[in-house]
Amino acid sequence: MSYGLNLVRLPAGIDPGVAYAQYQEEQARYYDAGLSAADRLGPIDPAKEERKERMAAALIASDPDLKRFERNYARIAASKSISEPEARRRFRNVELNDDRHSIQIELFDDEAGVSFSFTEKGEDCAAAVRALWGCLQVLEAEGGYRTYDPQMGRVLDLHSDFDAIRSGFCSAC
């Protein structure tokens, strides 16, 4: 079973569901305008790069099974017929992978994505969900993100939704 979660920074003081709906509308406008993610990227922002690096370090400190994916920018540039600096500008997300629990985290300038697949059963499945939940907690606490579950159609509450998510994943495997 494969699953994905979206993480965004939502404005304070606004209902998370409303704020995420506004975020989705903005993304739809970009899509409707024919703008790809690379088209929407401006120049590399050193502050955002530093924030991604801090988040990556915090995630790895919390889950030593996470490993950073290192890109070969020269190969990307050659395959896309672009310069290496342009490849670095377009592909500037930080990717972390936990192969043990099939978790992938992508840190973008202003959002993050978490995807995972669970085939484990019993306690192995519960351990995988705990590892996932720990990553989400770090992203929310240290990165200011909120976790949106597009399958459930709502922002998750990491304080109260763990058992429901664990039960759903571990019973489906």
How many distinct structural domains can be found in the chain? 1
Please compute, for residue 152, the number of CA atoms within 13 A of its CA located in the half-sphere on the CB side: 17
For residues 110 and 145, give the distance between their C-alpha atoms in angstroms, rounded to a whole number. Answer: 9
**pLDDT, tens digit only, all 173 positions of the chain:** 678 899 988 777 888 778 778 888 887 887 787 766 666 778 899 999 999 999 999 999 999 999 999 999 999 999 999 999 999 999 999 999 999 888 999 999 989 999 988 766 667 788 888 999 999 999 999 999 999 988 888 889 999 998 888 877 776 55
Please compute, for residue 14, the number of CA atoms within 13 A of its CA located in the half-sphere on the CB side: 13
Please compute, for residue 91, the number of CA atoms within 13 A of its CA located in the half-sphere on the CB side: 18
Looking up residue 131, the CATH number of its domain turns out to be 3.30.310
What is the residue range of 128's domain?
2-172
